[in-house]
Chains A and B, each alone.
Chain A
Amino acid sequence: MNLDWTHFTPLTSLTGGILLGIASAIFILVNGRILGISGILGGLFPPKLGDTAWRLAFLLGLLAAPKVFHAVIPTEFITSPRIEAHDWMVVVAGLLVGIGTRYASGCTSGHGVCGLSRLSPRSLVATASFMSAGFAIVYLLRHALPA
């Protein structure tokens, strides 16, 4: 295994992670809810009476983040995203993520952050599964198939 020191960002990644933890903490302690993006979004299909406003409030906040981020964070901490996938791959990926997260009732936030924080065995299995699949697909795409 080689470490990619040029892209390694320990300080911003750890700080960002702590912010994710604080957001999840406020959400359970103040709003009484698990912060899971796929569940919050997927629960809008179809919108149910009395169960929609909180989802929209959260999502609006999430979508407002880039504007605030660019206004607040000095440019040296901002890296432009590297997106290598072709459009067709992005479409397939989106479909898989949409279907998979709903079947599993959670994604990186609900299972990966909140579930593991709650020490939920169910979320541990989910996280181990999606991580393994991620490792396998990237191995296939980067190392097995190109050769």
Chain B
Amino acid sequence: MTNKTLINRVVEFAVGLLFGLGLMLSGMTDPGKVIGFLDLFGSWDPSLALVMGGAILVGVFAFTVAKKRTATFLGGVLRFPTSMDIDKKLVIGSLIFGAGWGLAGFCPGPALVSMADGQPKALIFVVAMLVGMLGFELMDRFVHAPRKAKLKAA
């Protein structure tokens, strides 16, 4: 392992840790709080708007800097998402995700952190989520990809 690779691994670990701490401090790991935010017509807890607001405030600054650069601070590749498509896959996928999010109050990051914190329901959620991700992978490989190939051939 080169020095640069090692630094990358250490930073990735530290970023994961910092992100997990942020999730816990912000209240995102409390499904009651998430659902309290999504409950516009009940007793509304606006905390999560501040979580998003705080994160985006820093994020906008960081991405403005990143977009002007051609390499990372370590001289590595800057990998920006390339897809610009606003299609059915994006909207329907997001609607499905949002439904699941509202149902239990967990999204992927907080669920992983809560699982590590010893919450049994978070463990159940993570196992189901991994099954869902694997299901998507299998669908993509054996249903979507062959269909797309067929369309291209025709």
Q: Which residues of chain B in 76-104 are interfacial with respect to chain A, using CB atoms and an 8 Å cutoff?
A: 76-81, 83-86, 89-104
Assembly CA distance A17 to B115 (angstroms): 20
- Could you tell me if A64 and B17 are in contact, using CB atoms closer than 8 angstroms? yes
Q: Is the CB of B100 within 8 A of A23?
A: no
With A24-B62, A125-B90: A81-B100 Cβ-Cβ less than 8 Å? no
Say whether A93 contacts B100, CB under 8 Å. yes
Q: Tally A residues with Cβ within 8 Å of B.
A: 112
Minimum CB–CB distance for A98 against chain B, Å = 2
> Are B96 and A100 interface neighbours, CB within 8 A?
yes
Assess the A108–B107 pair: CB atoms within 8 A.
yes
Q: Majority SS of interface residues in chain A?
A: helix
Q: With the chains together, A105 CA to B82 CA distance in Å?
A: 12
Q: In the assembled complex, which residues on chain B have CB atoms less than 8 Å from the CB atom of A120?
A: 81
Asked whether, in the complex, the Cβ of B102 is within 8 Å of the Cβ of A133, the reply is yes
Contact of A10 among B12, B50, B65, B96 (CB under 8 A): B50
18 extra interchain contacts, Cβ-Cβ under 8 A, other than A17-B26, A57-B9, A129-B90?
A: A7-B36, A18-B55, A19-B26, A31-B76, A37-B107, A37-B109, A61-B18, A63-B16, A63-B113, A65-B113, A89-B104, A93-B125, A95-B100, A97-B125, A100-B98, A117-B56, A129-B91, A131-B38
Q: Provide 30 A-B residue pairs closer than 8 Å at the C-beta atoms, listed in order of the A residue.
A: A3-B45, A3-B46, A7-B47, A9-B47, A16-B28, A16-B54, A17-B51, A18-B54, A18-B55, A20-B22, A21-B57, A22-B58, A26-B14, A30-B74, A38-B133, A45-B133, A62-B17, A63-B116, A66-B24, A82-B33, A94-B100, A94-B124, A94-B126, A95-B100, A97-B108, A99-B132, A102-B137, A116-B56, A133-B99, A137-B102
The 10 tightest CB contacts between A and B, nearest first, are: A98-B132, A65-B20, A16-B26, A61-B16, A94-B128, A17-B54, A21-B58, A117-B59, A103-B93, A133-B98
